[in-house]
Amino acid sequence: MLTIGGKSDSTFCDGISRRSFLRVGGLAMGGLTLSQLLQAEAQSETGRSNKSIIMIFLSGGPPHQDMFDLKPEAPIEIRGEFSPIPTNVPGIDICEHLPGMAQMMDRMAIIRSIVGSEGRHAAFQCLTGWPVRNQPVGGWPSFGSAVSKLQGQAREGMPPFVSLSPKMRSSSWSDTGQAGFAGQAHAPFAPNADGTGNLELNGVSLEHLSDRRSLLTGLDRLRRDVDASGAIEGLDAYQQQAFGILTSSRLADALDLEQESPEMRDRYGRGDNVPAGYGDAGPLMNDYFLAARRLVEAGARVVSLAYGRWDWHGRPHGTNFENARDHLPRLDQGVTALIDDLTERGMIDDVSVIVWGEFGRTPRINKKGGRDHWPRVSCGLLAGGGIQAGQVIGSTNRLGEHAKDRPVHFQEVFASLYRNMGIDTNSATINDLHGRPRFLIDHNAYQPLPELV
């Protein structure tokens, strides 16, 4: 929660403690003060860029053969119920329930041959590029935490790394991302990690922030009280910067979707907070896509989110295809609205979008009408960031069982994302807790995808 109050003998006229008005008790960043976070970020010595990443995690493992790698010539127990449709790129077909993506395939790249999954039901590998096993002391930092460590704050008033992943019963899916040995100062800001569903600014509902006049009046009063007391003169540069963040409301503005027109909200599809499937999974909240655009536009470097439940083992929780008929059109609307919006705002070359899950699904449909876990191969969708779009990278065999041509490892995808951020994975390192420099990926084995340049 955002703590600007507390017990003290010395308060401003509104009862706000001079000692505690700059403390950010949560920010989902380990309880450090905001000024401490800013100071830690400022100690990074690498260069800065204005590039951003939006990572969309399809929690549970999306079925590659029912989305981007259909097998219409395979037996019925393999190919399933869906048919492929042509896209606006000759020779590339995708699922009939993704018509919006089909019409903008010239702005996307599909990877049909992702390998290297550890097979865990977890967001960890999609957030870090590394397996859970054999981690160094402190743990691998998430992509966003590594970017925060190396590049710091892009714009005053905005944390570099924001996670919109909601709380779920499976905590491994709702993983907001760990800072690992990058340090807790680089953990994500997670406005809805407590399970509220609605985006909140550290426990302050955006409904309470919708009255901009009241909010700004309160902040102006706080600033006047501080100035009148002379307290601001005793603050160091980082505390003053923290105070500027509290009074600028940049982060609150970015999360306040009511500032968007109803037409734009409808364009993205809005969504709801109802868990998408059994087991209290993540909602199909298309507002998250719009919030992600607003956050990167406001200066966030990395925004990650979890979307829906894609773990479709079959009845009694609906067949793979019943669930897909619900999820795929909503995903299609949200992703295409995001890419169109970024394009229209002139941001698409600076913002990379990736859509993927932790593994694929079994080629053979089980007796309950579902597909089970299949770590041998999965798929992903990329757009933006100046990539070479309108192509498919890799392929699977005729049954979708394994990578046939051009296997693409998780770490190759991460190397490409780092490259899009202006970070060279052959040279950039972060010291672990023993002071040992650690590369962001295994650069001796994996390099950025040349196909995307």
pLDDT at 21: 39
pLDDT tens string 107-127: 999 999 999 999 999 999 999
Q: Is the confidence at residue 26, as pLDDT, over 50?
A: no
Interstrand relation of 108-115 and 391-393 (parallel, antiparallel or unpaired) = parallel
What's the pLDDT band for 200 if we cut at 50, 70, 90? low
Give the whole-angstrom CA distance, residue 176 versus residue 190: 7
Sign of the dihedral through C-alpha 236, 240, 242, 246: positive
The helix/strand/coil state of 335 is helix
Tokens matching residue 70: 């259909």
Average pLDDT over residues 7-25: 42
Mean pLDDT lowest among 48-62, 141-155, 333-347: 48-62
Q: Is the confidence at residue 27, as pLDDT, over 60?
A: no
Longest alpha-carbon distance in the chain = 78
Give the whole-angstrom CA distance, residue 99 versus residue 378: 21
pLDDT at 278: 84
pLDDT, mean over the chain: 85
pLDDT tens string 285-299: 999 999 999 999 999
pLDDT tens string 145-179: 999 999 998 987 788 999 999 888 888 999 999 99
Mean pLDDT lowest among 58-67, 137-146, 245-254, 321-330: 245-254
| 299 closest CA partner among 451, 156, 426 | 156
Task: List Cα–Cα distances, 369 to 316, 320, 347, in angstroms.
Answer: 10, 6, 41
Other C-beta atoms closer than 10 Å to the C-beta of 15 total 9
What's the pLDDT band for 29 if we cut at 50, 70, 90? very low
Q: 């329930």: which residue's tokens?
A: 97
Tokens matching residue 388: 């070479």
Other C-beta atoms closer than 10 Å to the C-beta of 280 total 15
Phi, psi dihedrals of residue 20, rounded to the nearest 5° = -115, 0
3-state helix, strand, coil in the chain (%, to 5): 35, 15, 50
What does R_g of the chain's alpha carbons equal in angstroms? 22
Tell me which DSSP letter residue 443 carries. Answer: T
Q: Is the confidence at residue 30, as pLDDT, over 70?
A: no
pLDDT at 273: 87
pLDDT at 1: 29
Q: Is the confidence at residue 221, as pLDDT, over 80?
A: no
Tell me which DSSP letter residue 107 carries. Answer: G
- Residue 114 carries which side chain, given as an amino acid letter? I
Please report, rounded to a whole number, the percentage of residues in the chain having pLDDT higher than 90. 68
pLDDT tens string 364-396: 999 999 999 999 999 999 999 999 999 999 999
Q: 């981690």: which residue's tokens?
A: 135
Fold classification of 50-205+250-452 (topology level): Alkaline Phosphatase, subunit A (3.40.720)
Q: Is the confidence at residue 212, as pLDDT, over 80?
A: no
Q: What residues pair up with 216 in beta bridges, in sequence order?
A: none
Which stretch of DSSP H or E encloses residue 258? none
Map out the domains of the chain as residue ranges.
50-205+250-452
Q: Is the confidence at residue 421, as pLDDT, over 80?
A: yes
Interstrand relation of 378-384 and 108-115 (parallel, antiparallel or unpaired) = antiparallel
Tell me which DSSP letter residue 122 carries. Answer: S
Query: Could you tell me the pTM of the whole model?
Result: 0.84
Average pLDDT over residues 167-195: 87
pLDDT at 445: 97
Considering only residues 38 and 163, tell me which one the structure prediction assigns the higher pLDDT: 163
The DSSP annotation for 192-252 comes to TTTS--S-EETTEEHHHHS-HHHHHHHHHHHHHHHHHHTGGGG--HHHHHHHHHHHH-HHH
